[in-house]
């Protein structure tokens, strides 16, 4: 399936909006490591890895929804994130499912 953040310069049929979202909470081990890295500075790899997995899961959910609609591409993809509760982050991925 073609995934793009831009529009396409070809004819396509718009099928509708598709989205995927995931909410993930950090666990105590990651929080402790992040606390110590915050003291000395540097990348907090534990959180970066956590959010990469969550983002990839949201994209997978969006692609499954588009596939179920009969789409073979998703255009105009965007990402958004928010803090749902203390220690919990949501990643939302959305775009327009189209059939080329």
CATH number reported for the structural domain that contains residue 83 in this entry: 3.30.110.70
pLDDT at 64 over 90: yes
- The answer to whether 47 and 54 are in contact (CB under 8 A) is no
The pTM of the full predicted model, rounded to 2 decimals, is 0.78
Pick from 16-30, 44-58, 79-93: least confident: 16-30
Can you state the angle between helices 28-40 and 45-68, rounded to 10 degrees?
A: 130
Q: What percent of the chain has pLDDT over 90?
A: 49
Q: Please tell me which residue, 88 or 55, carries the higher pLDDT value.
A: 55
Q: Which domain holds residue 36?
A: 2-99
pLDDT at 29 over 60: no
More confident residue, 54 or 97: 97
pLDDT grade for 32, boundaries at 50, 70 and 90: low
- Unique residue bearing structure tokens 């915050």: 38
State residue 85's pLDDT score.
72
- Please name the helix (run of DSSP H) or strand (run of DSSP E) that holds residue 9, with its range, or none: none
Q: How many domains is the chain partitioned into structurally?
A: 1
CA 55 to chain centre: 3
CB half-sphere exposure, 96, CA atoms < 13 A = 13
Q: How many Cβ atoms sit within 10 Å of the Cβ of residue 33?
A: 15
| Helix (H), strand (E), coil (C) string for 51-63 | HHHHHHHHHHHHH
């Amino acid at each position: 399936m073609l995934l793009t953040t831009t529009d396409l310069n070809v004819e396509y049929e718009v099928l509708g909006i598709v989205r995927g979202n995931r909410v993930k909470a950090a666990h105590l081990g990651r929080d402790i490591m992040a606390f110590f890295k915050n003291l000395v500075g540097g990348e907090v790899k534990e959180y970066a890895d956590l959010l990469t997995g969550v983002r990839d899961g949201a994209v997978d959910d969006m692609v499954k929804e588009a596939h179920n609609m009969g789409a073979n591409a998703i255009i105009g993809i965007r990402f958004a994130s928010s803090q749902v509760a203390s220690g919990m982050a949501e990643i939302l991925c959305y775009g327009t499912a189209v059939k080329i």
